[in-house]
Structure 1
Amino acid sequence: MAKFVQAYFKTENNAESAKTDLQKLNVNQEMVEAIPEDTDLTPIVPLAGSTNSGGGTFNFTEVISPKHDQNGALSDKRHLTHVLHFTIKEEEYERALKIVKDHEGHMKRTDFE
């Protein structure tokens, strides 16, 4: 089964670089576009602060804590400029997340709950 992913980036270059690296996996329908100004970025969190727990899931303990959101993650979101959309097979999802993380990507919090 395929998963639809949206990853948000601070620059078009980061989004395009992630897209290029994702070509190593079995991705489909990949597209980079500018984020519309009226997009609600409230549920978006950075992958950079996540850690792989070894069980196939990402742990966002520090990234989504209210203290961090007040001082970092939420205030930083207005600098997100581009979104990368793609679909990926479930068995390659964790590898795709690592690529997004390596390019300083952000994703919706609900994608990890």
Structure 2
Amino acid sequence: MEHHIQAYFRNESDAETALAKLQKCPIRDARIDSIPDGNTNPFVLPALNFTSSSSPNAGVITDGDAINTKGSSERFDYILEFYVEEQNRREAVNILGQTEAHLDKEAYEKINK
């Protein structure tokens, strides 16, 4: 099964850094786009690093620490989108967790299942 992942970033440099790190993971159709000024940022959570037991590493930001950009000055102006196969999904998410990536709440919940 293939997953479509969208990661949000505050600036293009952070998105490009994440994409460069993702090159060691088999992903396809990766692209970085700017988010138009008029668009509202989604409810996003920081990407997490996961252990092989599939629970977040100690000290990571959890749901209670989530960033809700609605009504906040926090802005995400770039999005990195790519496809990854199920067997490589956890590696890709671990890589994103080492960057400034944020995932929308729906993607975050899917990853945590």
Q: TM-score, normalised by structure 1?
A: 0.77
- In the alignment, which of 68, 72, 76 is matched to residue 74 of structure 1? 68
Flag structure 1 segments of 5+ consecutive residues without an equivalent: none
Total equivalences in the alignment: 105
* Matches of 2:61 and 2:31, distance apart in 1: 30
- RMSD, aligned CA: 2.4
Question: 1:62: how far off?
Answer: 5.2
Query: What is the TM-score normalised by the length of structure 2?
Result: 0.77
Q: How far apart in 2 are the matches of 1:77 and 1:45?
A: 15
Q: Percent identity?
A: 23
Deviation at 1:84, TM superposition (A): 0.1
| 1:41 CA drift (Å) | 2.7
How has the CA–CA distance of structure 1 residues 85 and 2 changed in structure 2, closer, same or farther, with 3 Å as cutoff? same
For 2:9 and 2:3, how far apart are their aligned partners in 1?
A: 19
Deviation at 1:56, TM superposition (A): 2.5
5+ residue gaps, structure 2: none
Higher helix share: 1
Separation in structure 2 between the aligned mates of residue 21 and residue 51 of structure 1, nearest angstrom: 14
